[in-house]
Amino acid sequence: MEIVFLDKKTIGNVGNFNLLHKLGKVDVYETTKPEEVITRSAGKDVIITNKVKITREIMDALPQLRLICIAATGLNNIDLEYAKVKGIEVKNVVAYSTDSVAQSTFTMLLYLVNRPAYYDAYVKSGVYAQSTIFTHHGPSFWELAGKRFGIIGLGNIGRRVARIAEGFGMEVVFYSTTGRNNNINYKRFDLNTLLKTSDVASVHAPLTESTRNLITYDKIKLMRPCAIILNTGRGGIINESDLAKALNENLIAAAGIDVLTKEPIDPQNPLLKVYDKDKILITPHIAWASIESRARLVEKIAKNIEAFKREKGV
């Protein structure tokens, strides 16, 4: 089979990439501009893409194309209806980054709560060496045990986060963004009640028309001044201008953001202009990207292509 990977840079260096080379001839490009897609995909049976969009115009220009493999879970960069019309199969990958995102969620939370960067800098500055006592009471931190952890979107990742929160002794509640989830293990709240009563609110939902701008200034105003909000789900679910305003007005204690409306971040993003930099942690969409997660992603892409070959007798 003739295969092209249009944006390998998005998954970095992965030790098991040879799994794809075993399936056919693979052309690999680190990144691909929209105007380069057709030329690079000409004559290929399979396109692998993470973020490169495959439009109906591109499909029309590629008569040999039979399979599009998404190196991710989201399918929003593919014209799915037209792919069906053209008889082109589209396969994505699910449940490859669950543990990575869950771990990163608590990395963010503990960083914001325990303030290790401050205490590390305090010791390394030499000030601690001059102290007259064994400890230093700088920024106070609180224990997770006994606090309420509110999960917005209780899918695979949300459920994994819930179990970790329970391990810290937290009470878990959730809001179903689809309205269809009735998990019997946790209390289901409406969004306003979850925000009003949670010490931590954590977003683990896909970006849809119903979740876009789900968390606005008015919603953040419902939260406690001591509360923390996290988003390792999708950019666009929390309104970034509203969050910056809320942080500047000290409506909540802090925010941890791994996903943004525009990625890479716009230099004018209001979150970069929050007055107190200790109130916000921003990471560059890395929550999903553990070594193990990226290896699972490649493995599952390879399995998707193998399954296609078996089905079609290639």
| CATH 3.40.50.720 intervals, the chain | 2-94+291-312, 98-282
pTM of the model: 0.95
Can you say how many angstroms the Cα of residue 147 is from the centroid of all Cα atoms in its chain?
A: 24
Convert the pLDDT of each residue in 64-107 to its tens digit: 999 999 999 989 899 999 999 999 999 999 999 999 999 999 99
- Give burial (CB, 10 Å; 0-12/13-18/19+) of 90: middle
For residue 183, what pLDDT band results from cuts at 50, 70 and 90?
confident
Would you please indicate which residues are annotated as catalytic (active-site) residues?
Answer: 234, 263, 285
Convert the pLDDT of each residue in 110-133 to its tens digit: 999 999 999 999 999 999 999 999
**How high is the pLDDT of residue 182?**
85
Radius of gyration of the chain (CA): 22
**How high is the pLDDT of residue 275?**
98
For the chain, what percent of residues have pLDDT higher than 70?
Answer: 100
Contacts of 35 (CB under 8 A, 6+ apart): none
pLDDT mean over 239-256: 98
Contact criterion met (CB below 8 Å) for 286 and 260:
no
CATH value of 2-94+291-312 in 3.40.1160.10, 3.30.413.10, 3.30.70.120, 3.40.50.720:
3.40.50.720
pLDDT mean over 246-260: 98
**How high is the pLDDT of residue 180?**
86
Helices (H), the chain: 18-21, 37-41, 56-60, 80-86, 98-114, 116-124, 156-167, 191-197, 217-220, 240-248, 291-312
**How high is the pLDDT of residue 313?**
84
CATH value of 98-282 in 3.30.450.40, 2.30.29.30, 3.40.50.720, 3.90.550.10:
3.40.50.720
The Cα–Cα gap between 105 and 161 comes to 8
Convert the pLDDT of each residue in 186-235 to its tens digit: 999 999 999 999 999 999 999 999 999 999 999 999 999 999 999 999 99
For residue 9, what pLDDT band results from cuts at 50, 70 and 90?
very high
Q: Over 80: is that where the pLDDT of 314 sits?
A: no
Q: What is the mean pLDDT of the chain?
A: 97
For residue 181, what pLDDT band results from cuts at 50, 70 and 90?
confident
